[in-house]
Structure 1
């Protein structure tokens, strides 16, 4: 009788281990309207699912969008518990910064450089305290001119430099969209157009932009252990 009980417990443990090993990693994409649109048809999150499927990894990842239009880093902080922590993700991809800079000119609001870093750090530390892995993204573009002549290129570069440094010093994976976009535009924007290459309106992604971001993010995400 004891042998049967022992055997049953062994078999049960093997089955439970199988469920644990096969559990999908829940990835939440936390951001603004770019991420909100990214969760819709043709958006970068949905296109990333196609890339995952093409590599036969569909059983390994569950992708969830948590973007809200107009959000800045302070907004992400305020909804962190409700929209992220309560969902118990394994990985969170933070893609924020465009509105923190853009809204300074667009609406007279925005987030100053020091405050941006302070709120960003608190978000990361709260995620890490919940044993959630964090992937950082630098902001992409506010205008697609390739020669740093877009009005807010200087601030984009400054905030992106801080994010790169923060990722490096905290040993966090970083999707450097700022550099990726700049390199693409240098190679593919001979007329120095302001929009229409990867964005529809200088900020939000067009079809090609969504494909570009999906590929850039997946390249880093796939190797995140």
Structure 2
């Protein structure tokens, strides 16, 4: 359940799970919450994976970002509460970071901006996505919820997404990125069943 990252994840093979993909491109958490009844509760699955708040950050704007992040957190809490009330297991996923810059022109612009003391847009997005990810980690641990830490699985060691996991637009996930997500998810879910 989520936005375009979910929508573009072609039915991953997860042994022991029948996967119903309910991703809709471009959605923010409040839009995912708005269709939660229809796309999750009405179907009565055994479990639901809830993933995605990057669109909230993209559309939030610097002047509203704190309120936007708090709204995303409330949306997550509401979806978890609704799923649990329906006896549906919740699995949460952290959001993946953006890639810094792919082409030489982009890298040059980032370098010049860094020299001028400015951060890149990707660094700004990753900071705010990361703070909600930190909340998700704490919340999942406190509530006994399975967490898939996609952010850590995609991290290049400097807080950005590994370039091989990014499409040329720098934001979406590449086929090799989805293969890595599927492998990571299979391993985590297999290990928890032991």
TM-score (norm 2): 0.78
Q: Choose which of 149, 165, 176 in structure 2 pairs with 1:208.
A: 176
Structure 2 Cα separation of the partners of residues 159 and 144 of structure 1: 19
Determine helix, strand or coil for the equivalent of 1:63: coil
Q: Does 1:123 align with 2:91?
A: no
Q: Post-superposition shift, 1:221?
A: 2.5
Structure 2 Cα separation of the partners of residues 223 and 82 of structure 1: 31
Structure 1 Cα separation of the partners of residues 83 and 100 of structure 2: 33
Task: Kindly name which structure, 1 or 2, has the bigger radius of gyration based on alpha carbons.
Answer: 1
Q: Choose which of 88, 100, 107 in structure 2 pairs with 1:132.
A: 88
Q: Post-superposition shift, 1:113?
A: 1.7
Q: Is the 8 A contact 1:73 1:97 kept in 2?
A: yes
Determine helix, strand or coil for the equivalent of 1:215: helix
Residues 111, 33 of structure 1: alpha-carbon distance in 2 compared, 3 angstrom cutoff = farther
Q: Does 1:220 align with 2:176?
A: no
Alignment of 1:1-225 (within 5 A): 30-38=1-9, 43=10, 46=11, 48-49=12-13, 52=14, 57=15, 60-104=16-60, 112-144=68-100, 150-182=123-155, 185-186=156-157, 196-200=163-167, 201-224=169-192
Q: Is the 8 A contact 2:28 2:53 kept in 1?
A: yes
- Deviation per residue, 1:62-99 (Å, 9 max, x gap): 11100001111101110011111111100100111111
Give the alignment's Cα RMSD to 1 decimal.
2.7
Task: Count residues in correspondence.
Answer: 171
Determine helix, strand or coil for the equivalent of 1:119: helix
Structure 1 Cα separation of the partners of residues 187 and 162 of structure 2: 25
**Which structure features the higher share of strand residues?**
1
Unmatched runs of 5 consecutive residues or more in structure 2:
102-118
Q: Post-superposition shift, 1:151?
A: 3.0
Structure 2 Cα separation of the partners of residues 31 and 168 of structure 1: 21
Q: Post-superposition shift, 1:160?
A: 0.7
